[in-house]
Structure 1
Amino acid sequence: MPLDHAQPQTIFLKDYEAPAFAVESIALCFDLREKGTRVLSTMTVVRQSENMPNLVLDGDPQMDLLSIKLDGTPLPAGRISRAGEQLTIKDMPASGVLEIEVEIEPQNNARLEGLYKSGGNFCTQCEAQGFRNITFFPDRPDVMTRFTVRIEADKAAYPVLLSNGNRIEQGDLGAGRHFAVWEDPFKKPAYLFALVAGDLGVLSDQFTTRSGRTVALHIYAKARDLPKCQHAMDSLKRAMRWDEEVYGLEYDLDIYNIVAVSDFNMGAMENKSLNIFNTKYVLADPQIATDTDFDNVEGVIAHEYFHNWTGNRVTCRDWFQLSLKEGLTVFRDQEYSADQASRSIKRIHDVKTLRAFQFPEDAGPLAHPIRPDSYIEINNFYTVTVYNKGAEVIRMMHRLLGVEGFRRGMDLYFQRHDGQAVTCDDFVAAMEDANGADLGQFRLWYAQAGTPELTIEDHWEESTGRYELHIKQSVPQTPGQTEKAPMHMPFLLGLIGPNGQEMDAELVAGEGTRHDAGWLLHIRQSDNRYQFSGLGSRPIPSLLRGFSAPVTIKASLNRADKLFLTAHDSDPFARWEACQDVMIETLLDLVKAVDAGQPLDVGQDLIDACEKILEDAQSDPAFAAELMTLPGEAYIGQMMDVVAVDAIHHARIHLRHVLAHALESHWRRLYREMTDTVFGLSPEQKSRRALKNVALIYLAALGDNETARTHYAQSNNMTDRLAALQVLVNGSDDAARDAAFADFYDRFEMEDLAIDKWFALQALSDKPDTLKTVRTLRNHSAFSLRNPNRLRALVGSFASGNQLRFHAVSGEGYAFLSDIVKHVDQLNPQTAARLVLPLIRHERYDPVRAGLMRKQLQALLNVDGLSKDVYEIVSKSLMTKEIS
């Protein structure tokens, strides 16, 4: 509900206090109706603190409170007070049974938090604080209780009735209504509560655990979508087996349900035994899903399943500890996905995501540690910092302790804390105690914001065969944190000889150990020196192999060194990184030349290196595709003090044009060789499609529109079809573009996820009239401000993904986004807060653009009834100078 933010309430980690009351059990009865739903809760409450006689419950101010009874007797009005989101019951006894009946309106819940209707079905989303929109309860993760849930509904309209745990009873009520009772034997916090009622089909399967138990698996979706659920089901079974084999973790109930819904703020939710998913991460077949979509479905299915232990069985004490479950589970799903296909490609993709989204967050006005110190709205801290940087912190522990040491730490963590709500410190302590390790300095990763910067210089002494590496680290200032201590991080190093082979050496100074992938150095100080002996010639250092720490690097490697590493490094990530560095340096030089009106020179050395990549592409087509994919415009902008919007676009187009013409014969050859006549989803076939579609982009840079038209017409899968549209939407052949987009819409009009792609591609076009197109699509019959997927597809793609047109110097893009945010905020503040993010980094742009962005932010801040979600982001971005 929109709030007055003259004095917004800030919640601080330092103020944490244990709950004054425990809830031993809760029974919920839902009477689902079309006009209003009644919820009766019966809680057994036990006092935990003698100093707190009053019981404080959380609840939506708009919720209609019908009655309150204590031990069967109605409470007098004098013992009840209600203010804002809190209901206080005075002078609670040491224990008692509290009955509360409320009425809510799920059919009018556009916030998609709590109980709401989606596609005619009832469903819930309770993380982080949605349960308070259902009934009054101490809505915090450290209040864990056992739930029993009774659901009553119209049988014809809602034949499927689901909640957490096991169904223990069901039957008819007469008058066309029926009921089901579900009991969850595991204690859980309210944020893991789930309910679904609807007319849904089901895909069923089963899984046999390593101990021999049979688990019934069900995926619920619209009946016509069930064939698209098979990949999700297969992914679920693979994830269950992987967790048993890698971590010894077995599923603990006899049933596991997944429900796919079309209106969802998040990707998915790990509610115990009843996961609710955005359809985007369940439905997949070759006609509506790209290869990337298939990978994303597999990863998210695994992520939510892995939460059963890292999030459900052991959960967060408070929301400041969110990375306890999310960072750890992202790491687990990344490792699972890496084991399913190419580990090197997965690592590259994960790092690209981190750099594209988390690094800017760390360098901006919303920078925060993975364990924040304070928040106004917790939904704003479901961030790439908490999730993705949190995963990198877990990955560093994994690297420091080794595979076996990390597993020992995980085993001890579950042994100590199963069934508890704990902290990030509890997790680190388990890792320390299981390995006899000291991670005291390492804990700074949880407390300090900002991306550490490493400056690296080297020195070679020919006469003694000694090589020295000098690594300085600094952690930049971030809002509220001006003084930073040095961090402890693992730094994986390789030494490459002039023959392209790894060199043997002895570490004679500095902390480090020999590792199967090179030298694992420990960086602990602001100034670190490492010396190697026994070298017959000067090595070229392969730095930060595998991206062993989430840092930025300024190194003394020259262009020739990087091209040498591109050709010879045995570490795939470091090889890709070296190639990307040369491309970025080239692009930044081109940007300067564009601004100065000078000739644009790419350099024959880069062209020669790229030719060698394409000559060897058959050995690993997907890796070659990654090497030849140019850095994105937004990422190039991160390398600049002031983002040169137009010059970056011009430079990138020029580099692609040069590589297309210089390597034309290779592109045409690879396009032919990588084209398969029969579609398949094997890693090899996906790898070939990846390179074929990169080749298509370069052929388009030659002005070859015919290949793109034919590519679209002959496509038998969404990956190829979308690749053709990505080319045609920016091409010079308007007739071909319009025909393809019209065909696509007619072909997929009934497929929501495909139409999301249709909206997104048009929003990402670099054509001068893109904003006009986006405004037109805003009024399209298939667009809705109430559907987060559609909003992200059109508005999010334009604002976050189209740097050229969103940041047009006129400021029209900023005004468009501001207007959308203002309207969405009245419906769904959580989605509005995520949409506004492209406006907050105004300090990185020239004075004209920065001023126009601040103008729109100020206008939003002045909106009456602005949600606290949007208020927190906008106010912080206006108060805090950009961190450079």
Structure 2
Amino acid sequence: MSARDAQPRAIQLKDYQPPEYLIDQTHLTIDLEDHNTRVTGTLKLRRNPDISGGEAELTLHGQEIKLISVAIDGKPLDKDQYRLDDEGLTLRNPPEQFELETVGEIDPKNNTALDGLYKSRNLYCTQCEAEGFRKITWYLDRPDVMSEFTTTIVADKKRFPTLLSNGNLIEQGDAEKGRHFATWHDPFKKPAYLFAVVAGDLEHIEDKFVTQSGREVTLRIFVEGKDIDKCDHAMLSLKNAMRWDEDTYGREYDLDIFMVVAVDDFNMGAMENKGLNIFNTSCVLAKQETTTDAGFQRVESVVAHEYFHNWSGNRVTCRDWFQLSLKEGFTVYRDATFSADMGSPTVKRVEDVSVLRTAQFSEDDGPMAHPVRPDSYIEISNFYTLTIYIKGCEIVRMLANLLGPELFRKGTDLYFDRHDGEAVTTEDFVAALEDASGRDLTQFKNWYSQAGTPRLEVTDHYDEAAGEYHLTIKQSCPPTPESDTKKPFHIPVAMGLLGSAGSLPLKLKGEEPNPETGDNTHQVLELTEPEQTFVFEGLPEKPVPSLLRDFSAPVKLKYDYSRDDLMLLMSQDSDGFCRWDASQQLAAQVIDDVMAAYNRGEDLGSVEIDQRLIDAYRRLLQDESLDKAMVALMLSLPSEAYLGEQADEIQVEAIHHSREAVRVALAKALAEDLRPIYQQYDHSKPYKPSADDIADRSLKNMALGYLMLLNEPAIIEACEQQYRDANNMTDALSALTQLVESTAPEAQAKREWALADFYERWEDEPLVVDQWLRVQSTTKQSDALEKVRALEKHPAFDRNNPNKIRALVAAFANANAINFHVPSGEGYGFLADHILRLNRTNPQIAARLLTPLTRWRKYPEEQRKQMHLQLERIKAEPKLSKDVYEVVSKSLA
């Protein structure tokens, strides 16, 4: 795509038409070679009986395939019977029903875009979602064309002893010239995006799972031999997910075998291909020496997510890509509730909301803002966004909370039973919930069709004489690219009221309490109008409202809490999320105080912070009844990204230096409370990735982070000792990070030694090397960009591997604001260089790297100019991919 060409055509939801033909059966033979892989596709097609009339031509999608032959019902076609172009193969006057055979050649080794069939190190694999299958063979590559697949793979037996595809293995054997074959049959119809093939020299671990109906399922996880000792946690996670899905949703696995394959080169986290999930190695490999606690949790979550897709995505799939959140939002909700059940529900909720309120809210506020069900797109790969996944999850969470557990389960049962084997829409999902519950969710569907983050402005009034409390909530939503005006949302606002001694009973005026709730201190208000007032009666004192409990809706809330109010919520609220949120709000207010001093030119080293924050944090440290993981979260200051998201204009230096000044002040004030937490921790105890042990480590390492700010030689020595003695990656990486970040002269030599030692120890473990790169790319030291440029030339960095790009380039641009936004604009130029290079080799990754530049309007004038300059430079590239063109053009519009 050239910047000088016409704008690429946008695909519109309103233009959707059902397919003119259906494919009942698909038979593929894939004869694997590095550069000349031959794919023979035999398709049994028939005209869609639901479509009247019909065109005289049928176009099958196909890209980057060399045509060898094409035949209908065994008869080769003359050249005047078809047309071949860059987008596909068009058949002229096809019969009503016929068998199409095509033979084509593709070049997987040079497929650097990593979609379709490609080579990752020493194995072949596929990534077909969203439109990669059209790079394998000519096909109706759209989600609403579902077919029964039989796949035969042929390859060199010595190089590729393992041959895998979807479904059940039905035949295997030797072929000529040292080759062999395997034939797989998937009895369940699926769209082409769920097709998968893997061929390599792999080892596997195996286990069994007995379903609720008594069927035995074989479970296998395939990896390179060097990684066979890192699969146990993924296997345990898979079995836990299978049992949980049966218990919670009544969903039983349907094939005889379930397989997972770990791949080094992968654009995404994982892919739910039917029966053959392909994973980025970062989402399946886990071992205490090489994987952090967060890594263990990520493996558990992603394994569950892809397994849950078997029903919410595979058995019931999306009609078109505008409905992407139908499967992704629902499945993220399923994996989030699973992870909450496996660990701490409150900690999981806080972690999820932290991502939502920084990254997704930022997306909603930028040029790429789009509804959860978009109306149009140019390149579908650009819509694998946090809006689709995380906001989509929040929509399902709101539905579950509005209906309650029993009705929500009844609704999902109806959805799965009604649409099994079909490709459907978000309207079909909501309709099933409506039919099962009897509730009208018409207004609620505005969440799917409107972009942006709604704002809630809350005011209140207490009538002491009447004992009544009036709570007024106004909702609004700012303009977004698709619409300036928004209809009111249906917003569930979970809330409680706190008095001086704790929770107060809730009774809405004119309503009788619901005895079924079992809790008269908690209620969900349903906001459906632009402004509503709720009156509570029987209150002996003016309450402090506890709002958006468990973050009941993805909105921005404005209520004028005093700092004393926030301290009350931190100490008395029964809702863990609101306690954490109060700690974030109180800390943000204190950071705002320091930012004001910074902007006045004052010396931050002499600025005193509000004693109330110190007192609140001290009480948290001294309260042994609290979950240690929650204490660690509550003592972690709001991130720079979150603080920037809250601001009208992002003042990078003011935010960074003010936040750091508050951290130092807290470290000095709380040192004697933090020391025993760190000193009493037993570093020699055996490692376990359990919720309790993870909580212990998170609190201990949080204490270390604060204490290292004191620059005391004894603490620096203790940090180095933790690095040397660590029996797990969490403790080793935490200590390494603190040494790298320390500004103390005593830490400098230790920092260089530790970085060199870490690499020497783990250079053969790619995922650990990713951590090593990330520690250096995100350091707040002033020479970070210089270090990153040097690391580009290091043997550890592979400029074509997505994980390495994410660890070095994306981490620097997204998580190192103070160095990315240097006044010279060098950081922006560095990122643009990588985007332009990847535009030619991997457009998906290139487009995702653009995100930090898309927010250029939120920065001060000089930074805006520099970012705008790089966007214009990218747009001027003569051969710009559709992926990059869409993002950069919307950013500049």
Q: TM-score, normalised by structure 2?
A: 0.97
Residues 1:829 and 2:843 aligned together: yes
Residues 1:59 and 2:59 aligned together: no
Residues 1:671 and 2:678 aligned together: yes
Residues 1:506 and 2:507 aligned together: yes
SS of aligned partner of 1:619: coil
Alignment counterpart, residue 687 of structure 1, candidates 695, 705, 712: 695
SS of aligned partner of 1:702: coil
SS of aligned partner of 1:239: helix
Which residue in 2 is equivalent to 1:332?
Answer: 334
Q: Report 1:459-470 matches (<5 A).
A: 459-470=461-472
Alignment counterpart, residue 730 of structure 1, candidates 729, 741, 744: 741
Question: Could you tell me how far 1:556 is from its partner in structure 2?
Answer: 2.4
Which residue in 1 is equivalent to 2:150?
Answer: 148
Which residue in 1 is equivalent to 2:758?
Answer: 744
Which residue in 2 is equivalent to 1:845?
Answer: 859
Q: Report 1:36-435 matches (<5 A).
A: 36-48=36-48, 49=51, 50-60=53-63, 62-435=64-437
Which residue in 2 is equivalent to 1:721?
Answer: 732
1:753-778 deviations in whole A, cap 9, x for unaligned? 00000001100011111101000001
Which residue in 2 is equivalent to 1:758?
Answer: 772
Q: Is the 8 A contact 1:71 1:97 kept in 2?
A: yes
Which residue in 2 is equivalent to 1:697?
Answer: 705
Give the aligned residue type for 1:376: I
Q: Is the 8 A contact 1:118 1:262 kept in 2?
A: yes
Q: Distance in 2 between matches of 1:235 and 1:803?
A: 35
Give the aligned residue type for 1:590: V
Alignment counterpart, residue 519 of structure 1, candidates 512, 523, 530: 523
Q: Alpha carbons of 1:40 and 1:775: their partners in 2 closer, same or farther (altered >3 Å)? A: same
Q: Is the 8 A contact 2:166 2:274 kept in 1?
A: yes
Alignment counterpart, residue 460 of structure 2, candidates 444, 458, 461: 458
1:707-728 deviations in whole A, cap 9, x for unaligned? 3212212211100111111111
Give the aligned residue type for 1:680: K
Question: Could you tell me how far 1:876 is from its partner in structure 2?
Answer: 0.2
Which residue in 2 is equivalent to 1:583?
Answer: 587
Q: Distance in 2 between matches of 1:800 and 1:81?
A: 45
Q: Is the 8 A contact 1:511 1:521 kept in 2?
A: no
Residues 1:9 and 2:17 aligned together: no
Q: Is the 8 A contact 1:377 1:868 kept in 2?
A: yes
Give the aligned residue type for 2:667: A
Alignment counterpart, residue 598 of structure 2, candidates 585, 591, 594: 594
Q: Distance in 1 between matches of 2:219 and 2:24?
A: 29
Alignment counterpart, residue 872 of structure 2, candidates 840, 847, 858: 858
Question: Could you tell me how far 1:21 is from its partner in structure 2?
Answer: 0.4
Give the aligned residue type for 1:372: P
Q: Distance in 2 between matches of 1:483 and 1:531?
A: 29
Question: Could you tell me how far 1:510 is from its partner in structure 2?
Answer: 8.8
Question: Could you tell me how far 1:7 is from its partner in structure 2?
Answer: 2.5
Q: Is the 8 A contact 2:42 2:101 kept in 1?
A: yes
Question: Could you tell me how far 1:83 is from its partner in structure 2?
Answer: 3.0
Q: Distance in 1 between matches of 2:336 and 2:811?
A: 24
Q: Distance in 2 between matches of 1:505 and 1:74?
A: 77
Q: Is the 8 A contact 2:3 2:876 kept in 1?
A: no
Question: Could you tell me how far 1:79 is from its partner in structure 2?
Answer: 1.6
Q: Is the 8 A contact 2:496 2:506 kept in 1?
A: no
Q: Distance in 1 between matches of 2:840 and 2:592?
A: 42
- Stretches of structure 1 that go unaligned for 5 or more consecutive residues are 880-884
Which residue in 2 is equivalent to 1:882?
Answer: none
SS of aligned partner of 2:282: helix
Q: Distance in 1 between matches of 2:273 and 2:60?
A: 22
Q: Distance in 2 between matches of 1:667 and 1:689?
A: 14
Q: Distance in 1 between matches of 2:216 and 2:711?
A: 58
Instruction: Give the aligned length.
Output: 877
- Stretches of structure 2 that go unaligned for 5 or more consecutive residues are none
Q: Is the 8 A contact 1:729 1:765 kept in 2?
A: yes
1:430-467 deviations in whole A, cap 9, x for unaligned? 00000100000000000000000000011111111101
1:12-56 deviations in whole A, cap 9, x for unaligned? 000000001000111000111133100000001101232223111
Q: Distance in 2 between matches of 1:13 and 1:510?
A: 43
SS of aligned partner of 1:508: coil
Q: Alpha carbons of 1:299 and 1:373: their partners in 2 closer, same or farther (altered >3 Å)? A: same
Question: Could you tell me how far 1:275 is from its partner in structure 2?
Answer: 0.2
Question: Could you tell me how far 1:837 is from its partner in structure 2?
Answer: 1.0
Q: Distance in 1 between matches of 2:682 and 2:609?
A: 30
Residues 1:603 and 2:610 aligned together: yes
Give the aligned residue type for 2:782: P
Q: Is the 8 A contact 1:380 1:833 kept in 2?
A: yes
SS of aligned partner of 2:245: helix
Q: Alpha carbons of 1:3 and 1:229: their partners in 2 closer, same or farther (altered >3 Å)? A: farther
Question: Could you tell me how far 1:3 is from its partner in structure 2?
Answer: 8.9
Q: Is the 8 A contact 2:165 2:198 kept in 1?
A: yes
Give the aligned residue type for 2:710: L
Which residue in 1 is equivalent to 2:787?
Answer: 773
Question: Could you tell me how far 1:625 is from its partner in structure 2?
Answer: 0.1
Q: Which deviates the most, 837-846 or 599-608?
A: 599-608
1:41-82 deviations in whole A, cap 9, x for unaligned? 00011012322231111011x310111000111111112112
Q: Distance in 2 between matches of 1:239 and 1:513?
A: 35
Which residue in 2 is equivalent to 1:493?
Answer: 495
Q: Is the 8 A contact 2:370 2:482 kept in 1?
A: no
Q: Distance in 2 between matches of 1:528 and 1:694?
A: 42
Give the aligned residue type for 2:184: W
Alignment counterpart, residue 820 of structure 1, candidates 834, 843, 851: 834
Q: Distance in 2 between matches of 1:360 and 1:725?
A: 30
Which residue in 2 is equivalent to 1:540?
Answer: 544
Residues 1:808 and 2:842 aligned together: no
Q: Alpha carbons of 1:204 and 1:556: their partners in 2 closer, same or farther (altered >3 Å)? A: same
Q: Distance in 2 between matches of 1:183 and 1:544?
A: 49
Q: Is the 8 A contact 1:118 1:261 kept in 2?
A: yes
Q: Alpha carbons of 1:321 and 1:700: their partners in 2 closer, same or farther (altered >3 Å)? A: same
Q: Which deviates the most, 184-193 or 617-626?
A: 617-626
Question: Could you tell me how far 1:639 is from its partner in structure 2?
Answer: 1.6
1:569-611 deviations in whole A, cap 9, x for unaligned? 1100000001100101111221121011246331111111110
SS of aligned partner of 1:506: coil
Q: Distance in 2 between matches of 1:409 and 1:367?
A: 30
Q: Distance in 1 between matches of 2:560 and 2:718?
A: 43
Q: Is the 8 A contact 1:164 1:272 kept in 2?
A: yes
Q: Is the 8 A contact 2:2 2:877 kept in 1?
A: no
Question: Could you tell me how far 1:355 is from its partner in structure 2?
Answer: 1.1
Q: Distance in 2 between matches of 1:276 and 1:238?
A: 19
